[in-house]
Structure 1
Amino acid sequence: MLKRLAALTLLVVAFCAAPLAGSAFAQSADPENTLLLQLKDGTVTVRLRPDLAPNHAERLKTLARQGFYDGVPFHRVIDGFMAQTGDPTGTGMGGSDLPDLKAEFSSEPFVRGVVGMARSSNPDSANSQFFIMFAPAPGLDGQYTVVGEVVDGMEYVDNIKKGSRSANGTVDNPDKLISMRVAADQ
């Protein structure tokens, strides 16, 4: 009886502590669908959502494994809205050499910490650029592809240098995405 009670107590403690474990817990949950973004202040852990956007999740992993995102600037950062990166030119007009992706829209809402794919006015134009939400933006719901969510390190996203509102969030001397890796490769 005592052994059973001890085992049950250990299980309850492990279950309750799991959310507190941060990125270590997220990585062990599904390392193949976990991205580690190294920012100037620390590591951000993103859980990809291949259940919502399998092609977009695969694209982010492919480019991360190629080192595509290393040193890429956060070229558009709007306080209270989102931080956008993934364009090596830093202009918002660039992308990878891979073909654009067809939209994978879902009913998942754009709330704080959600990672979405940037695109032009053409819904099927997402390529390499993505953004992380600072706050809810219901106007994006069903209009952009949700590809993941921050599960640890959102405070480091909050610290990304913000751009000018008059310049639609364009950032002078922007912070950079130091590196982005798939947790399974660590």
Structure 2
Amino acid sequence: MSEVVPSEVDDGFYGPRHRRPDSTRHRSGPWTRAWHLSVYAGAALVALVVALILASAVHDSTQAHVAGTFTEESCEGDGRYGCQSVGTWTSDDGELTYRSVGLDGAVGRNGTSRSYAIPDAILGGTDTVHDSASSPLIGILVATTLLVVLALGVLRAAEKWGDLVRLKNSWRRRKGSRP
């Protein structure tokens, strides 16, 4: 059996035994923790708003569609994507007429468009009518995508800030302390 001579020992970094040599212990200051908590609270608030929009879009997609004709009276705004068609929508049976409504879509050369209204909709029920090419499922898809992107962003930030490891260690301590 040979003895280890101190000069033969690797001159690498030797830290305390409870800490790996490559780990860097970073303690967050109170302002950093406050920033992280405010980001989490803001993300939770945004998630709540998007979830309400998603619930409204799901509700609206289950409501009855009433077919009719939209007649353009004016084109308001001149933004990047053109103007918003504003006009009168009348149902095919003549029972419903909405004045000064916006069209979600485009009108034909004669200024009219086949469209449908969703009278009991939460999102733009009597303010907006939709052309035959638009689908109420678009709102569901957009809101779901926003929720997924928000969740992934929050998880990425929590991982970067070390909060996922802290949470996992906290769960382990709680689980180990139970009788």
Note whether the superposition's TM-score is higher than 0.5: no
**What is the TM-score with the length of structure 1 in the denominator?**
0.25
Q: 1 or 2 for the larger relative contact order (CA 8 Å, sep ≥6)?
A: 1
Name the structure where helix makes up a greater proportion of residues: 2
Instruction: Tell which structure's C-alpha radius of gyration is larger.
Output: 2
**What is the TM-score with the length of structure 2 in the denominator?**
0.25
